[in-house]
Amino acid sequence: MSTPRIGVVGATGAVGTITLQLLAERRYEHVRAFASARSAGSTVPFGPGTLTVEEATPDALGAGDLDLCLFSVGTSASLELVPPAAEAGALCVDKSSAYRLVDGYPLVVPEVNGERALEALSRHRIVANPNCCTIPLTCVLGPLHEAAGLARARVATYQSVSGAGAQRMQQLQAEEPAAHDLVMDWSWEGDESDEEAKLRAETRKIMELPELPLSATCVRVPVMVGHSEAVWVELERPLSTEAAADLLRAAPGVRVLDLPSFPTPAAAAGTDDVLVGRVRRDTAAENGLALYLSCDNLRKGAALNAIQIAELLLAGAAERAAA
């Protein structure tokens, strides 16, 4: 499939805009932009030109003239729009929570469990893209677990307003009070937010550690782009801080910063790597390590990860067709 026909659904949103930018950078040519009825007929940037936005409807996406669809819409919209696209033959990567924790649907971070994406080729043609904090977290936990076994983890996230969409970004630009509310974007399940529960459940699924003890505290911070996470891990076997840092340096998609440099949202914004720093001993736990990371939540935390999944699917489909 050398020239796939690609649909970007949710093309006018914060993640959709980055998705189009990355596709243009990768020189994909046959790209169409889809969004809600109110955006239909408008234009969005694509490389040196623009694309006219089409209305995203089940009929439009199920017409059978797309090879790949990248969805950046809400859960209810995904549940309506993804199935007809997949049934019509398109490979679908969905960035909402609609399929992430549903049995039988791969939840994929290519650097960690990319082989799982290919399971969708012979089934429903749908792969889920994880939460914007789960992606960088598992990029870091993966190499540590492979080397020394992951016994438990604790994480505190500091999430930028872009994770809540374009409207919250506009509010921050206008210095509206709503943009400075730390937790208003999430619902609560007892004393835990749904964001914290998702982070634990998604990490367990990607790492294939269904009983992994993981505790999370998630807050929103008045930063435009870039999520940061403070991470504490306890390993099953001893691992020195030097060895841990070396493993992370060798990990795909990870860049280790040495003091006096350290990860910040500003440093991560506009880059594709997960920035990791302050790798140190956690003296409160046996075989414990602590570290800090930052990641562009619109790129690796959403759009880039989905495109990487899509490229795995396209390559896998091409191999099957050639076999």
Which of 310, 297, 309 minimizes the C-alpha distance to 132?
297
Beta bridge partners of 255: 275
Return d(Cα 66, Cα 102) in angstroms, integer.
25
69 part of the active site: no
For residue 52, the number of C-alpha atoms closer than 13 Å in the C-beta half-sphere is 2
- Single out the catalytic residue among 92, 132, 139, 218: 132
Measured in degrees and rounded to the nearest 5, phi and psi for residue 168 equal -65, -35
In the chain, the DSSP E strands lie at 6-9, 31-35, 43-46, 49-55, 68-71, 91-94, 126-128, 150-159, 188-189, 192-193, 214-220, 227-235, 254-256, 274-281, 288-295
In the annotation, is 139 catalytic?
no
Please tell me which residue in 69, 92, 218, 227 is annotated as part of the active site. 227
Sign of the Cα torsion 207, 247, 290, 128 reads: negative
Whole-Å CA distances, 164 to 161, 172, 226: 5, 11, 12
Give the whole-angstrom CA distance, residue 207 versus residue 108. Answer: 10
- Residue 4 has φ and ψ, to the nearest 5°, of -65, 145
Q: How far apart are CA 133 and CA 158, in angstroms?
A: 9
Residues 241-253 as b/e (b if ≥16 CB within 10 A, e otherwise) read eeebbebbeebeb
As a whole number of Å, the CA-based R_g of the chain is 19
State the catalytic residues. 132, 227
